[in-house]
Chain A
């Protein structure tokens, strides 16, 4: 949970878009770790076995969160691409400056 808060904090404090995206990534990693933590609550032994015991990790959250990792990756890749284009076209990566320029 701590990592998620660091991510939110970074999102709020930094004005630079690259930094914002980085914080978003940190936040995503926090969410992923939270899912992994939940799956380890029942145990930490990998569930590659036919007879199911109490000590095994819960495979469902792990299986499900892989999708989210991929989605995060795709989102980040697209966002960074757009940031590159913005940097070359608008010559600025400061969010407040960009807001002023675009609206005016």
Chain B
């Protein structure tokens, strides 16, 4: 696949079709891996070498990566530089989801974040430059904390392997967790996320929200499986789910809404580690779908959209239903999440689901206009994937409660919509988020210490 990326540089003319071909290939390989349950576990070069693993967890992430990139290439990307960057990102994401030792994870996360940085600034606007700079400053701070944690791990058990994370000093674990949580999009930790995701180009935002955020989730999963940190991370996740949804409900900008939902959905993913790979697959599918829909909308301001073409409207409704989690759509996997969480986070998650329905209910009341028959393969593809996921993981027990949640969401929308509006949040400013991260590092170390 790295070969493909370099072919682009020489073959600029045909790069679009090659991009499509590469992603189709990637998709079928991922699907094959997923269906045949193919797995390996290799250590390259001796004891301290690169450890790669392909198992149940990485399978979901690789499939997600393939789906999102195939969706994007079906939509069609015009710019050659963007295609080159995207294909390199796809390749490095695949490698990231395979890596299994602490230092290799660090290197891959940094590589992906540098690529992300270049992707964000691709539109050459001031706001994009500023969002990207914020991202890189906060991200490097986080990764430096992570590295200190890794150093302490090495000092105590002379290896970078994740299996040895079990018996390490708590301070190392908390530093590593903070560092990764900044990347993964948990509320309060990664407040750079809404701005960066909202300002980037549409295709780029789909990649960012769909896959790049999951890099942090993957690392957290790997770290938490072998340590006692699961509870702390899952409570942070549940709180993040509720807070993110509140801000999503209050904002008016289409992309801002989606980015706040990313914060909230990452919280839902993290609140139960058993179902995390599956739910991140579902989330990646419907979130990238929603972001890709933005290009069909006339304006970013949701309150100014009065009328939509029929085909745009039907896909927007279907995608909103997916994220609201009605039976038969990919969002319905939330029922599996609810099965696996403790009582307190269950309540928080229910609130978050109601909020999700409420903030997407505004799209159900948009009027329909005439149909404009355009070729929209990417919407059809993502719809198929979403439906297949929904049918595969169908569970009859939660049908009634999910419909109840949905109607509660619509009720809240009717009661509260338009009363409040938030355009900017102080938490998103660089200074505030920097000090927030430092405070939270201390808080997490303290919680870890208490748990012992």
Contact = CB atoms under 8 A, between A and B. Distances in A.
Contacts of A44: none
Interface in A42-76: 60-61, 64, 67-68, 71-72, 74-75
Nearest to A64: B103
B38 interface: no
A27 to B, nearest CB: 5
Contact of B151 (A8, A38, A101, A104): A38
B141 A86 contact: no
Interface stretch (B129-137, B217-225, B400-408): B129-137
Interface in A12-37: 12, 15, 17, 20-21, 24, 27-28, 31, 34-35
B311 interface: no
A98 B114 contact: no
A12 B140 contact: no
Contact size range, B: 35 or more
A35 B154 CA distance: 9
Contact of B423 (A61, A90, A99, A103): A103
Contacts of A86: 126, 129-130, 133
Given A64-B103, A102-B126, A24 B133 contact: no
B129 A85 contact: yes
- Interface of chain A: mostly helix, strand, loop or mixed: helix
Contacts of B114: 71, 74-75, 78
Contact of A67 (B107, B121, B132, B423): B107
B123 to A, nearest CB: 13
B140 A31 contact: no
A34 to B, nearest CB: 5
Given A4-B148, A28-B144, A83 B438 contact: no
Contacts of A102: 126-127, 130-131, 195
Contacts of B137: 11, 20-21, 24, 79
B151 to A, nearest CB: 5
A62 B155 CA distance: 13
Contacts of B147: 31, 35, 68
B398 interface: no
B341 interface: no
Interface residues of A, number: 42
B350 interface: no
Interface in B101-126: 103, 106-107, 110-111, 114, 117-118, 121, 126
A8 B439 CA distance: 12
A24 B151 CA distance: 18
- Interface of chain B: mostly helix, strand, loop or mixed: helix
A75 B151 contact: no
A86 B136 CA distance: 14
B438 A71 contact: no
B430 interface: yes
Contacts of A20: 137
B182 interface: no
B140 A28 contact: yes
Interface in B193-252: 195
Contacts of A41: 155
A95 B431 contact: yes
B42 to A, nearest CB: 19
B133 A31 contact: no
A95 B129 contact: no
A96 B106 contact: no
Which 4 residue pairs are nearest across A and B when measured between Cβ atoms? A103-B424, A99-B429, A71-B110, A102-B127
Interface of A: 4, 7-8, 11-12, 15, 17, 20-21, 24, 27-28, 31, 34-35, 38, 41, 60-61, 64, 67-68, 71-72, 74-75, 78-79, 82-83, 85-86, 89-90, 95-96, 98-99, 101-104
Interface of B: 48, 103, 106-107, 110-111, 114, 117-118, 121, 126-127, 129-133, 136-137, 140-141, 144, 147-148, 151, 154-155, 158, 160, 195, 423-424, 428-431, 434-435, 438
20 contacts: A4-B144, A8-B141, A12-B434, A15-B431, A24-B137, A28-B140, A34-B148, A67-B103, A71-B111, A75-B114, A75-B136, A78-B136, A82-B121, A82-B133, A86-B130, A95-B431, A99-B428, A99-B431, A102-B131, A102-B195
